[in-house]
Copies of this chain bind each other. A is one copy, B any other.
Amino acid sequence: MIFTPRTPRIIAARKLQKRRDRDKAGQFLAEGPQAVRSALAAGVVLELFGTPEALNRYGDLAMEAPVVSPVDDEAIAALTETVQPQGLVAVCEQIDVPLAEALAKEPRLVAVAVEIRDPGNAGTILRTADAAGAGTVIFAGDAVDPYNGKCVRASAGSLFNVDVVRAPLTIVDELRDYGLQVLATTGTGETDLDSVELGKPTAWLFGSEAHGLGPELLKAADARVRVPIYGGAESLNLAAAAAVCLYASARAQRSVSPGDPRSVSPGDHHESAV
């Protein structure tokens, strides 16, 4: 049997395109082979829908999924949001964890997306934070749903690689209690990125492109950091600023003294201990 858009399980899965229904079910959709592969590796796939062609082409993924259901082209089109869906959609369990659980693992690098509403920006921060080795990404305050389809796609699988946390805005004290210095990014910061001590465990706060960080968070942070602007630009966009800050931390943390209890082993090509 091949599912159509009128098959009850497709109708139910399609509802997961809406935030309210995702919240109620505790589930979400991940589309495309890259996201499905990451979701399977994370062990959160409940059911994999695919066209017969896609299930054949990605037989390794179909083999790993607990339930596999062939669907017709119309059903795939109804479940996916991209113009050229690649024929695969997985229903996944939501995977965010409580703040305390994530921080108990003592991550050395944490990215906090503060009230970021644009799902593409939020997904890009997930991807960039994961690439830079951040173990935890926190969606703070009235931020976009991390399970929004566009956010999942922009994260390119990284949603499944990091600890995702949904938290209120009042998290600075708790971050600090776990030994993290809290750095607020802002174009008007009193500290230049190049003069911050970045070898320490760090949580970076990134505000929305439209409004930046609010005064309470700016005040609560240990320092307000600006990325230096060398040319005529007024600022960087959110994704670029996050990439520069997170990679500056990643690099500095890999060149700290091995005596640091949380130090990371330097890779082959990275700077060794100072």
Binding site for B on A (CB under 8 A): 34, 38, 124, 127-135, 154, 156-158, 160-162, 192, 194-195, 227-237, 239-244, 247, 250-251, 267-271
Contacts and interface: CB of A to CB of B under 8 A. Distances in A.
A269 B231 contact: no
B161 A232 contact: yes
Contacts of A124: 237, 239-240
A232 B130 contact: yes
Contacts of A244: 243-244, 247
A235 B243 CA distance: 12
Centre residue among A154, A160, A228, A269 by max chain B CB count within 10 A: A228
Given A237-B127, A239-B240, A158 B232 contact: yes
Contact of A233 (B127, B135, B229, B235): B127
A233 B131 contact: yes
Contacts of A195: 269
A148 to B, nearest CB: 17
A243 B270 CA distance: 19
A194 B269 contact: yes
B133 A194 contact: no
Contact of A131 (B158, B231, B267): B231
Contacts of A234: 34, 156-157
A243 B235 CA distance: 12
A233 B156 contact: yes
Contact of A127 (B154, B236, B251): B236
A162 B231 contact: yes
24 contacts: A127-B233, A128-B236, A128-B237, A128-B240, A131-B227, A131-B236, A133-B230, A154-B237, A156-B233, A156-B237, A157-B232, A161-B233, A192-B267, A192-B268, A194-B251, A194-B269, A194-B271, A195-B269, A227-B247, A228-B270, A230-B250, A240-B242, A244-B244, A244-B247
A235 B132 CA distance: 10
A224 to B, nearest CB: 14
A234 B250 CA distance: 17
Contacts of A156: 233-235, 237
A227 to B, nearest CB: 8
Contacts of A269: 192, 194-195, 228
A154 B229 CA distance: 17
Contacts of A243: 236, 239-241, 243-244
B231 A130 contact: yes
A247 B107 CA distance: 25
Nearest to A253: B230
